[in-house]
Homo-oligomer: A and B are copies of this chain.
Amino acid sequence: MKFSLGEICESIGASLEGDPELMIEGVSSLQETNPARLCFAENKQYLEQVRSGAAGGVIVDRDFPDLPGHRLLRVENPRHAFIRVTEMFLEPARVEGIHPAAIVHDSAQLDGQVSVGACATVAADARIGELTIVQSGARIGPGVVIGRECLIEANAVILDGVTLGDRVIIHAGAVIGGEGFGFVWMKDHHHKVPQIGTVVIEDDVEIGCNSCVDRATLGVTRIGRGTKIDNLVQVAHNDQIGEHVIICGHAAIGGSATLGNGVIIGGAATLRDHVTVGDGAMVGGTAAVAAKVEPGMSVLGIPARPVDKAKREIAAIPRLPDLLKAFKAQKKEFEALKVRVAELEGNGDPRE
A268 to B236: give the CA distance in the assembly, Å: 13
Question: Is A145 among interface residues, defined by CB-CB distance under 8 A?
Answer: no
8 A Cβ contacts from A229-261 to B: 230-232, 234, 236, 244, 246, 248-250, 252, 254
A288 to B123: give the CA distance in the assembly, Å: 42
A192 to B151: give the CA distance in the assembly, Å: 14
B341 near A80 with CB under 8 A, answer: no
- Interface size on A, as a range, is 35 or more
B231 near A178 with CB under 8 A, answer: yes
- State the A residues within 8 Å of B (CB): 27-29, 31-32, 79-80, 83, 86-87, 89-90, 99, 101, 103, 117-121, 123, 135-137, 139, 141, 153-155, 157, 159, 171-173, 175, 178-179, 181, 183-184, 186, 189-194, 196, 204, 206, 208-212, 214, 218-219, 226, 228, 230-232, 234, 236, 244, 246, 248-250, 252, 254, 267-268, 270, 272, 285-286, 288, 302-303, 305, 309, 312-321, 323-324, 326-327, 330-331, 333-334, 336-338, 340-341, 344-345, 352
Q: With both chains docked as a complex, state the minimum distance between the C-beta of A236 and any C-beta of chain B, in angstroms.
A: 7
A154 to B210: give the CA distance in the assembly, Å: 13
Q: With both chains docked as a complex, state the minimum distance between the C-beta of A3 and any C-beta of chain B, in angstroms.
A: 15
Q: With both chains docked as a complex, state the minimum distance between the C-beta of A316 and any C-beta of chain B, in angstroms.
A: 4
B286 near A80 with CB under 8 A, answer: no
Counted per complex, copies of this chain come to: 3
Q: With both chains docked as a complex, state the minimum distance between the C-beta of A4 and any C-beta of chain B, in angstroms.
A: 20
A234 near B250 with CB under 8 A, answer: yes
A272 near B249 with CB under 8 A, answer: no
Q: A320-B317, A327-B326 are in contact. Are A119 and B121 (CB under 8 A)?
A: yes
A181 near B219 with CB under 8 A, answer: no
